[in-house]
Structure 1
Amino acid sequence: MPAALGIIPARYASTRLPGKPLVDLGGQSMIERVVAQARQANLSRVVVATDDQRILEHVRGFGGEAMLTRPDHLSGTDRVWEAFEQLGQPAEISCIVNIQGDEPFINPAQINALVALFAQPAPPAIATLIKPVLTEEELFSPHLPKVVTDQRGRALYFSRHPLPYQRQHPLAEWLAHHRYHRHLGLYAYQPAVLQQLTQLPPSPLELAESLEQLRWLENGFSIYTALTELDAFGIDTPEDVARARQRLATSGT
């Protein structure tokens, strides 16, 4: 397997849930749970990149590795690159995995699916994770971006709207006539490619859909996808926190 580095960007500020990484979930903070899951994957190292001293000290307090990054980054991608620079850009790392800091139930197998793509003779520049859409609620939710791929698994387009539009079928029948996929926000990059991505200005499609990955496609970068059947559980609101706590209480973990 390639030498893969996991970096977890973790901001303190959040419009809907301030201090999100430190929220308690069944006796552990959210960021502690993300780190614990990531450490089970095929990663040589897991580092939290944060903009806040409280998160830094908390992660180090439970034995995790963390570093302080600038507070003015506009995206997690930029924060991940700064962290890699602070680490000295170790030459042995061939794959950097950007792990969302608000997914405490991320499955190590999902991370491994991306890392495995970089073991190929011609590794991708960028890779991300997708899963089948199973319900109409998922399909038509603008909060769950969808992705269209070519026959080799390369992303053609990401959208908050279901694509393709099935002109010959009513909306209620779309899932019966086409296999749709939604995008899960887990990325992996070659280090040199990640550096290039941070130098790109916002693009028209990105601004229209509010999806950063469209900037990369517009600038000619290929994004390969790995398929997972496992779901994602992102936490953005107090209601999500309540659902996560209920899940932990039910599972006993």
Structure 2
Amino acid sequence: MEFVVVIPARYASTRLPGKPLADILGKPMLQYVYEAALRSGAKDVYIATDHPLVFDAAKRFTDNVLMTKDSHQSGTERLAEVVDLLSLEKETIVVNVQGDEPLLASENVVQVAKLLHDSDAPMATLSVDIHDIDEVFNPNAVKVVSNAKNNALYFSRASIPFQRDSMLNLDKNAVKLEAFQRHVGIYAYRAGFIKEYLALPVSPLEVLESLEQLRVLYHGYDIKVQKANFPVHAGVDTPEDLQKVIDYLSNAV
């Protein structure tokens, strides 16, 4: 099984400016992500950025850096440009890894690539169990519900599946956490589908929920979903998140 990894790395970040270049024990955060992706055994790992500072920093540890347009409205648009720049074949499996996940488990990259490879779906992703009741009701934690064939039924910021007896009574203590899965933002695509996706009309569901993947379900395509085999650490969005990663890696040394 062959696959390539693409790591989008935008410089702009409201809560943590220059996020991909944030220093973690002497290395930029982006380098940790890149090295984890390399350990997955991917045929190639590419960094796609829209900023010269990120481009120059990445060039210090790899030649696989692509400068992409700064006008993209979504990560999928940037990914489509990368597919064009690399002239990837339609059936090439492309794994999209976020550039703000320095604790990425390389095993999960392999898992999502294999999940797609072993199916006829154009897209695959991962999920994790929810262990905290507050996460069930947190709109920033995207929930996913799947069917018996491991195809996504729906993604939502709402608390799905809705547990009638406990939630109607607003009894958090009665909520069964084992029923909930949180979506993890790692995707595998067939390269040809990335451009096909962008040609699909925007769906009302993705606008309401602000979730790009709902366009795929709305237009009748399958998204394979599987529980991640290895722990998924939270990404870095704030200075506090960054410090947690630094503390974690410092203790791991």
TM over 0.5: yes
One-letter code aligned to 1:142: P
Match of 2:101 in 1: 103
One-letter code aligned to 1:232: H
Q: TM-score, normalised by structure 1?
A: 0.93
Shift of 1:116: 1.1
Please say if residues 117 and 124 of structure 1, whose CA atoms lie closer than 8 Å, have aligned partners that are also in contact: no
C-alpha separation in 2, matches of 1:104 and 1:64: 20
C-alpha separation in 2, matches of 1:118 and 1:228: 14
SS at match of 1:168: helix
Structure 1 stretch displaced more, 206-215 or 28-37: 206-215
Please say if residues 121 and 221 of structure 2, whose CA atoms lie closer than 8 Å, have aligned partners that are also in contact: no
Q: After the TM superposition, which parts of structure 1 deviate over 4 Å for at least 4 consecutive aligned residues?
A: none
Q: Check if 1:248 corresponds to 2:249.
A: yes
Shift of 1:175: 2.3
Match of 1:165 in 2: 162
Please say if residues 35 and 64 of structure 1, whose CA atoms lie closer than 8 Å, have aligned partners that are also in contact: no
Please say if residues 206 and 214 of structure 1, whose CA atoms lie closer than 8 Å, have aligned partners that are also in contact: yes
Match of 1:234 in 2: 235
One-letter code aligned to 1:168: D
C-alpha distance after superposition, 1:119-166 (max 9, x if no partner): 32x432100011111111222221110000001111000111111111
C-alpha separation in 1, matches of 2:219 and 2:117: 25
SS at match of 1:15: coil
Q: How does 1:87-126 map to 2 (within 5 A)?
A: 87-90=86-89, 94-120=92-118, 122-126=119-123
Match of 2:189 in 1: 189
Match of 1:40 in 2: 39
Gaps of 5+ in 2: none
C-alpha distance after superposition, 1:10-32 (max 9, x if no partner): 11111111111000011111110
Please say if residues 47 and 64 of structure 2, whose CA atoms lie closer than 8 Å, have aligned partners that are also in contact: yes
**Sequence identity, in percent?**
36
C-alpha separation in 2, matches of 1:163 and 1:90: 37
Q: Check if 1:16 corresponds to 2:15.
A: yes
Shift of 1:118: 3.3
Q: How does 1:136-175 map to 2 (within 5 A)?
A: 136-169=133-166, 170-175=171-176
C-alpha separation in 2, matches of 1:59 and 1:107: 20
One-letter code aligned to 2:181: H
C-alpha separation in 2, matches of 1:60 and 1:145: 34
How many residues end up aligned between the 2 structures? 248
Q: TM-score, normalised by structure 2?
A: 0.93
C-alpha separation in 2, matches of 1:151 and 1:109: 24
Shift of 1:64: 4.6
SS at match of 1:101: coil
Shift of 1:226: 2.0
